[in-house]
Structure 1
Amino acid sequence: LADLVEGGYVDALSAGNGFATHDIERSLYGTSLGMDVETLEHPRKGHKHHIWTISEIIRAGGIAAAVDEGTLTEGVMYQCVENDVDTVLAGSIRDDGPLPDTITDAIEAQNAIREQAHEADIVIMLATLLHSVAVGNCLPSTTKTVCVDINPATVTQLLDRGSAQAVGMVTDIGTFVPTLAEYVLEGADDTESAACDDAAEDA
């Protein structure tokens, strides 16, 4: 997903406090809820990484500030800051922290998502039922919608909301997103190379 953002294929991101925290934790510590994402081992005091992550961002003054000072140097949230991607983090009562960037007022968050939604040509909903339903409620009927989730019930629930323009895909986003990124990014490179070859032949 970070590669897609860096490549300019993401105009806006709507997510929860948890998504941003997990992404930043991986960037800072290489873990997700304390588990090493590469080795699947549990490093000593790894269970504290989640809260340490939030503390680091609070200490910096926000996600953008953490990027500016060099604390955050990779990941989805980093790329969103670097590429000026409009980001809305909507809070809930389940949140740890939350991060300073998280909108804790539900009405304010909904209004921010609605502004994003009305500018969107296509929305891809990735493995988050409650947030996807909330975003779906803000979408115009003309917006193309793709719902991807490993749980068939989630996909069905989102597609059965009267959206004729919605497409559902039951699969793991852990394979879907990398495949999408590979196809889009390498496809763009192939097209560019072909265009250069054609131009060279014409010359």
Structure 2
Amino acid sequence: MTVSAEQDSLYARSYFPRYAPKFVPHAPEAFKAFGEFNKAAMQEGALSAKLKEIIAIASAHATGCPYCIDLHVAAGRKLQASKEEVVEAIGVSALVKGGSALYHGINALNAYEESPADDLYARENLTKLEALEAVNEELYTAFVSFGREVLTPRSLGAKDKSLVAVAIAHIEGCAYSIEYYTKLAKSEGASLAELAETIVVAGALKAGSAMAHRVNAYIAYERAGE
């Protein structure tokens, strides 16, 4: 099917079933393997299927993939995830995504020095967040308050929120966030099995975002020939 030159929307719910299969015949084994991985990642195990979908929803907001958001919100709703749980998970995603940038501010302050330290990612840097507060107390205090509000147990419990945070930290690839939120999750009672499944869901969503965007690639490829 030729993609119309008048098709201005970059994302439409109807595009996915229409265009996602177009690439499959060209790499069938790879697409099959990813589908099997994704299915295994979302199966109930140490974590419930519902919590995995909540983690997936938060992860989809971190990757910014609208197809993933659409798919996993619908799946979460089928598993009785409430709007409150979904919104709280999105809040954790926002906290960790923004917090990773703030943590990197420690590196920025180091780089700003005339003789910056050679170690770009020292674990002890986590104790130097006060240096950011000294530069801009209002900004730092506002972020700390936001974090406290987001992580307060409500519809989602403290452990569930910490696991969501671990997933987003892995999507962001921020070592400071991984260090902080993994320790937080352990303190809230998370097991290694729960952490392992959380990380697998994060991996599925990060890779899945790229896979989902093949729809855009197909449309762009077809439009280039019009």
- Give the structure-1-normalised TM-score: 0.33
Higher strand share: 1
- Give the structure-2-normalised TM-score: 0.31
Greater relative CO (CA pairs within 8 A, separation 6+):
2
Higher helix share: 2
Give the number of the structure whose alpha-carbon radius of gyration is greater: 2
